[in-house]
Amino acid sequence: MQKDPDNIQKEKDVLDGSQSGGTPSEELFEHHKFVVDKGQEPIRVDRFLVTHIANATRTRIQYTIEAGNVLANGKAVKSNYKVKGGDVLTIVLAFPRKEINILPENIPIDIVYEDADLIVINKKAGMVVHPAYGNYTGTLVNALLYYLTPPQPSQKGKEKHAKILPFGEDLGGVRPGLVHRLDKETSGLMIVAKNELALARLAKEMFDRKISRRYQALVWGEPKEKEGTVNINIGRSLSDRKKMAAFADANHGKIAITHYKVLESFRYVSLIECKLETGRTHQIRVHMKFIGNTIFGDRDYGGDKVLKNSANTTFKQFVEKCFSICHRQALHAKYLSFTHPTTKKLMEFESDLPEDMKTVIEMWRKRD
């Protein structure tokens, strides 16, 4: 069988983008669809997919099938299912992780929960999640590789992590895999899978929008509605490729849905909660700017300027002091829930607001 035959129709939806710090998208999986030609001879589905998906190993495909992520005509199949003419195959596949060589680094990680399948991390603001151009060190992945790499007997008394490891290499049975991402300057909760099967199952849960994520943010102004939904496509900005933009035209960008509600208002700024239904790059930041309530301190989208009462000198000084305390977008991933990939139990986690956001919110509360 040829690698790229003409006897199938193929669609591929890759959820991509970039975040501050030059790293790739928040959602780390791709959706393939194959419509098999009528003349296709029967062949095992795992062999078919290895042949037709770039960078897909047999093992990776088999874990994806075991996780229930491969459907034939709408039904989950096993590896020995025989693909035949007319079949419609859909696959949710985590991206391959052998991308670049990464140096494990001894960087502290705030681990909220850990077991044999996954880690839940409370990421601090300022940490890039994944190494990429301009950020090859100091990232969460560098820290994870150090944390998960087993000690080597031959390196006793030496720096045990001097070796540069490909991200995704089997580290004594552990293969760290990011399920989603946070922007560099956004703090809060993240899931990391520790093996291929857990990653495949969590990727499918993310794709099916079953992982619940709630954020808190300080935004400029008061939203017109105390509670609402922003359903506007998001895509790469046409004027600045490093940023994202909202597109009312359905022909641009990808579907993005954010539910929000106002928790507290301080006249010139408001504390809000956002629940993501989708997970586009910079989604909350772009949607809040679109409705006229840019996130406080957001340098990329204009929130680091005095957007209200700018003629008042005392007010401007107060805002500048807030910026000096929370010198980032005031956005925190506060709540996370998902179904455990092995035990099937509901897992729920909540993280306190970091000190910089708490301090600034209290300053506005007292001023109001």
Instruction: Report pLDDT digits (tens) over 175-216.
Output: 568 888 899 999 999 999 998 889 889 988 988 889 999 999
Burial class (CB in 10 A: 0-12, 13-18, 19+), 105: middle
Rounded distance, CA 270 to CA 315, Å?
16
Rounded distance, CA 360 to CA 33, Å?
47
Domain boundaries, the chain: 8-94, 101-207, 212-367
pLDDT at residue 175 in the model: 54
CATH 3.30.2350.10 is held by the domain 212-367: yes
Rounded to an integer, the average pLDDT of 338-358 is 97
Annotated catalytic residue 240: no
Neighbouring residues of 318: CB distance < 8 A, sequence distance ≥ 6: 363, 367
**Residue 57 near residue 50, CB atoms below 8 Å:** yes
**Intrachain domains 8-94 and 212-367 with the same fold:** no
Q: Take residue 28 and report the two structure tokens written for it.
A: 């780390």
**Residue 149 near residue 164, CB atoms below 8 Å:** no
pLDDT in tens, 231-286: 999 999 999 988 999 998 888 899 999 999 999 999 999 999 999 998 899 999 99
pLDDT at residue 326 in the model: 98
From 55-64, 128-137, 181-190, the region with the lowest mean pLDDT: 128-137
Residue 229, pLDDT above cutoff 90: yes
Rounded distance, CA 54 to CA 205, Å?
23
Residues 8-94, CATH architecture: Roll (3.10)
What are the distances in angstroms from CA 318 to CA 3, 54, 220, 278, 304?
Answer: 62, 54, 14, 35, 13
pLDDT at residue 279 in the model: 86
Its sign, for the CA torsion 260, 199, 204, 16, is positive
pLDDT at residue 89 in the model: 94
Residue 173, pLDDT above cutoff 50: no
Residue 132, pLDDT above cutoff 90: no
Rounded distance, CA 29 to CA 32, Å?
10
Residue 108, pLDDT above cutoff 70: yes
145 — pLDDT class (breaks 50, 70, 90): confident
Angle at CA of residue 276, ends 272 and 280, nearest 5°: 115
What are the distances in angstroms from CA 301 to CA 217, 304, 312?
Answer: 14, 8, 23
Residue 188's nearest CA partner among 104, 263, 132, 127 is 127
Residue 162, pLDDT above cutoff 90: no
pLDDT in tens, 284-315: 999 999 999 999 999 999 999 999 988 899 99
From 14-28, 152-166, 244-258, 292-306, the region with the lowest mean pLDDT: 14-28
Query: Given 46, 87, 183, 298, which residue is catalytic?
Result: 183
Q: What is the DSSP letter of 100?
A: S
Residues 101-207, CATH architecture: 2-Layer Sandwich (3.30)
From 26-30, 57-61, 129-133, 148-152, the region with the lowest mean pLDDT: 26-30
Rg (CA), the chain: 22
Q: What are phi and psi of 107, to 5 degrees?
A: -115, 125
